[in-house]
Amino acid sequence: VQLQASGGGLVQAGDSLRLSCAASGRTFSTYAMGWFRQAPGKEREFVAAIRLTSTSYVDSVKGRVTISRDNAKNTVYLQMNSLKPEDTAVYYCAVSNSISAVRSRQVLYWGQGTQVTVSS
């Protein structure tokens, strides 16, 4: 199983980015998929998760970030709008059995990170 994250980059505050995470090796349509981020010197933190039609977000991104998935492509997306410098981090995708499992970091598979840098 591989999770390939992409879409990171260097943007200015207020800009938007869409991260993608493509899974291969098996189908995850009934699993929860999510995103975490880790800023320098900080712990990896939960950002968002989705399973079927349910979603969950950390409070700091609510209203600015939308998680979605395309099961036909076995891909999860993270649309980030109105980016702030504090969103700067390496973003990781993850797969688990449920949204609550993702939130509690009971992750089955991790993807490699993609760097997001937001300049002020």
Chain segment 30-65, per-residue pLDDT in tens: 999 999 999 999 999 999 999 999 999 999 999 999
Q: pLDDT class for 78, splitting at 50, 70, 90? A: very high
For residues 73 and 67, what is the distance between their CA atoms, to the nearest angstrom? 15
* Helix runs in the chain, H state only: 99-103
Say what the alpha-carbon torsion angle 90, 105, 24, 66 is, to the nearest 10 degrees.
Answer: -60
Those residues with Cβ within 8 angstroms of residue 102's Cβ, 6 or more apart along the chain or in another chain: 32, 33, 34, 46, 49, 56, 94, 96
Residue 108: is its pLDDT beyond 90? yes
Mean pLDDT of 77-96: 98
- Rg of the Cα atoms in the chain: 13
In this prediction, residues 12-32 reach a mean pLDDT of 95
Q: Please determine, for residue 1, whether its predicted confidence score (pLDDT) is greater than 90.
A: no
